[in-house]
């Protein structure tokens, strides 16, 4: 169990984020068309998993925008924005913002992902959502970089995440 904060208040997070050098756990999440999407669907591509509580919060929205802006410069890489938002809300946000370089995935049927990736908020007002984290995977699903953001209301270290892909 890890501890992060939300506006300075302690929040427990269940599980452990995959660490650099480890194999990424398999997952199944929900795509915009309500189909199930797995890690295998991105085989052969490098992956940036941008994990956050909800796109309807300012910090989460900023992270999606920033990774969207960087995605075109990343060779053979897909940016997966993962949250508890329903696919309809994710699509509405990206459509309104004109964001086309990221792929949204919902934890709607992804309880296993939340536990296996160590991002399950266990208490506090966001209990049941995911903590803010970034996990970067190579083409073979080996973890290159991982960050569990210590303060949920703060942005991840974009530079460190993207540097892992160079």
Tell me the average pLDDT of the chain: 92
The per-type count for the chain, helices as H runs and strands as E runs, is 4, 10
CA 135 to chain centre: 7
Token pair, residue 54, equals 């909800």
Q: Binning pLDDT at 50, 70 and 90, where does residue 7 land?
A: very high
- pTM: predicted TM-score of the whole model, two decimal places: 0.93
Question: What percent of the chain has a predicted confidence (pLDDT) above 90?
Answer: 77
pLDDT, tens digit, 9 for 90 and up, residues 9-49: 999 999 999 999 999 999 999 999 999 999 999 999 999 99
76 CB neighbour count, 10 Å cutoff: 10
Catalytic positions are 60
Residues whose CB is less than 8 angstroms from the CB of residue 6 and which lie 6 or more positions away in sequence, other chains included: 124, 125, 126, 151, 152, 153
């Amino acid at each position: 169990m890890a501890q992060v904060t939300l506006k300075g208040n302690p929040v427990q997070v269940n599980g452990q984020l995959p660490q650099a050098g480890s194999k990424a756990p398999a997952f199944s999440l929900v795509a915009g068309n309500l189909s199930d999407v797995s890690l295998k669907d991105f085989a052969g591509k490098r992956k940036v998993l941008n994990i956050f509580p909800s796109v309807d919060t300012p910090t989460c929205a900023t992270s999606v925008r920033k990774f969207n802006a960087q995605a075109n410069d990343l060779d053979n890489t897909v940016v997966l924005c993962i949250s508890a938002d329903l696919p309809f809300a994710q699509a509405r946000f990206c459509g309104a913002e004109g964001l086309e370089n990221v792929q949204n995935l919902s934890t709607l049927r992804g309880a296993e992902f939340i536990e296996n990736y160590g991002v399950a908020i266990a208490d506090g007002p966001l209990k049941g959502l995911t903590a803010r984290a970034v996990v970067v995977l190579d083409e073979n699903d080996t973890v290159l970089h991982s960050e569990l953001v210590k303060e949920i209301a703060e942005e991840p270290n974009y530079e460190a995440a993207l540097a892992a892909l160079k």
